[in-house]
Amino acid sequence: MAFRESNPAPHTRVPGRVDRLVLPFVLALLALLASGLAPAAAAESYALAMHGAPALSADFTHLPYANPDAPKGGRLVLSPREGTFDSLNPLIVRGLAVQQLRGYAYERGYVYESLMVRNNDEPFTLYGLLARSVETDDARSYVTFHIDPRARFSDGHAVTADDVVFSLELLRDHGRPLHHQYYSKVAKTEVLDPLTVRFDFGGVADRELPLILGLMPILPRHATDVAKFEETTLAPPIGTGPYRVTDVKPGASVTFIRNPDYWGRDLPVNRGMWNFDEIRLDYYRDANGQFEAFKRGLYDFRTEPEPLRWHEGYDFPAVKSGDVIRDPIKIGTPAPSEYLVFNTRRPKFADVRVRQALLMLFDFEWINRNYYFELYSRSGGYFAGSELSAYGRPADDRERDLLKPYLSHIAPDILEGRYHLPVTDGSGRDRTVLRDALKLLADAGYALDGTVLKQRSTGTPLRFEIMVTTREHERIALAYQRDLKRAGIDVAVRVVDAVQFEQRRVAYDYDMVPIRWDQSLSPGNEQWFYWGSQAADVPGTRNYMGAKDPAIDAMIAALLAAREQPAFISAVRALDRALMSGFYAIPLFNSGEQWNARWNRIERPSTNALTGYLPETWWQKPGAQSR
């Protein structure tokens, strides 16, 4: 448990008397103050930026992508994903939870709030929410949060420093692996007064940690059963957010009603936000049923994940009449990218040459032409389309210095920016690529025995399974299966339902699986969770490939230690090179825009956030009828 203490009571002294032992120190302190050399106490601030200064001034009135005059009222119906849910606790590993209670990476939670909140037009800057101000030193060795005295849970209880400490300890000990990884870095906790809490980091070199703690969800100590916290539950939770859960139909829908007594409705970070009186989330078992429901107007908005459907499927009458608006949005963050990920915990994928050869055999050009109308591109790295990407860029001097101890882990052509993904002729039968891949496999100890590729030393055929859950991923896997068969590799494609897929993914029970990673312009501690060595053997992390590479670990540490933007960019690019050199995944595709469609009863601000669409900024068109 983290150490907690209150301010110790001062010693009682006789007026006019100063201990002879104390006097020299008092005189020295007075002299230091007189000389102007005393270190200044850290000042309270309304915001905290990862690098540089906050973009918004202290007197900002609303976030730049929110409409402060948006009308209130109406109902928004969303369908978050195909599948189902069995829990209203998104803070634990167990169960399929409704994530909107807490919020996704860039969206804010309907029920749970944090001490501070992102401005989605900046790489990583936080502004006060439950905390009215924050303070930290230049080294970021500690952070102190001053809680807004108006902050209340939905049951009327005031938010206190004790709730903040309780939340940290609960999530650290019983929450998701990500929480344990972050919050275990706090060496000491102090409740300075009922509305002030300080966290010290004990010398941990992690400049992002004050911001990570600023985004920690705050739970009510008085209404949380610690003994049952790790169990799935459908009981409506108590939070500080703008909505309360009022109706739950297990596996089918969840309804949120706007709290008329929401404490934070007039804060600058909330003006123009949370405009619907009711939000309902409807779940559908499969993607086709979900899309048909949208066409019938049963929910209001969807982001289209399938290029074929975006290209050909939006020709139904409501689109032609203007009742449904196709609304693609350009985003300013690294392009979300899809991959087929090798589980390197399996011996068959332990050799990097095998992984590289299998990557070469994926015929992106054929798939993009025949399935996607060439709407997609792809990148060999993990920060596609941004200044953070190392793909196709030579390493600068800072990167080379960072990578110097690990050059044996970095492919020379990746270091020099010469590496590019293989490009086939798009025929589905490119002999040159096949020959190059077979040569790599031969170097790794494999040879063709007739039409079967076998390991020479054991005679074991190279075979594996691709696990998928959507029809779109099944199509890709079947096309890839065809390509691999030409190389003598036996691949099975297993289609499972969404529940089984998630259970096996969390437990790393697969050979190969499709994965999407979303990156920000300020990658930080979550990178440990994505590909740090310690995350490889912890169920529920996003290190799906099982990467254990000291070069990766060192580059994550370097990006966390960076104080200025140029050094930070170099560290992220160095991380990208280490990841690319491991050939942990086959890049499938990425797109620089979101394909969105909405019924015209829903309106949005004219200005989009850097991160794309944000339902919390939308409103119902005046005079329109809710579904």
Can you list the alpha helix ranges (DSSP code H) found in 130-247? 161-174, 177-183, 209-214
Task: For the chain, list the domains and their CATH numbers.
Answer: 112-228 (3.40.190.10), 247-331+593-620 (3.40.190.10), 337-590 (3.10.105.10)
Region at 189 (left for phi over 0; alpha for psi -120 to 50; beta for the rest):
beta
Rounded-to-integer distance, Cα 567 and Cα 557, Å: 12
Residue 41's pLDDT band (cuts 50, 70, 90)? low
The predicted pLDDT at position 286 comes to 87
**Quick one: which H or E segment has residue 493?**
strand 490-495
**pLDDT tens-digit series, residues 576-618:** 999 999 999 999 988 778 899 999 999 999 999 998 889 999 9
Residue 9 pLDDT: 31
Least confident of 95-104, 393-402, 545-554: 95-104
pLDDT number for residue 104: 77
Of 202, 179, 177, 212, give the one whose Cα is nearest residue 534.
177
Taking the C-alpha atoms of residue 73 and residue 277, their distance in angstroms, rounded to an integer, is 5
What percentage of the chain has pLDDT greater than the value 70? 93
Q: What residues does 217 pair with on adjacent strands?
A: 114
- Of 535, 488, 484, the C-alpha closest to 512 is 484
Give whole-number Cα distances, 589 to 328, 365, 438, 476, 482, in Å: 17, 11, 24, 11, 19
pTM score of the predicted model: 0.77
Q: Which H or E run includes 473?
A: helix 471-485
Residues 151 and 265 sit within 8 Å (Cβ to Cβ): no
Confidence of residue 15 (pLDDT cuts 50, 70, 90): very low
Question: Does 2 have pLDDT greater than 50?
Answer: no
Bridge partners for 198 per DSSP: 144, 190
How distant, in Å, are the alpha carbons of 160, 207, 222, 387, 540 from that of 238? 15, 31, 10, 41, 25
Q: Structure tokens of 140?
A: 């970021």
Residues β-bridged to residue 341 = 513, 585
Structure tokens at 210: 């004050």
Tokens of 593: 């825009």
Quote the radius of gyration of the chain (alpha carbons, Å).
Answer: 27
- Per-residue CA distances from 459 to 164, 270, 350, 440, 456 (Å): 59, 64, 17, 18, 5
pLDDT digits (tens, 9 = 90+) for 455-464: 999 999 999 9
C-alpha 559/C-alpha 568 separation (Å) is 5
Buried b / exposed e over 451-484, threshold 16 CB at 10 Å, is: eebbbeeeeeebbbebbbbbebbbbbbebbeebb
H-type alpha helices, 507-603: 526-531, 550-561, 565-582
Q: What is the pLDDT of residues 510-554, one digit of tens each?
A: 999 999 988 989 999 899 999 999 999 999 899 999 999 999 999
Distance CA 41, CA 144 (A): 12
Residue 12 in this model has a pLDDT that exceeds 70 = no
Which tokens go with 137? Answer: 């030193």
The H-or-E segment that residue 47 falls in is strand 47-49
Q: Could you give the 3-state DSSP secondary structure of residue 444?
A: coil
Beta-bridge partner residues of 279: 76, 256
Q: Which ranges of 296-417 would DSSP assign to H, the alpha helix?
A: 307-308, 317-321, 352-360, 364-371, 397-403, 412-415
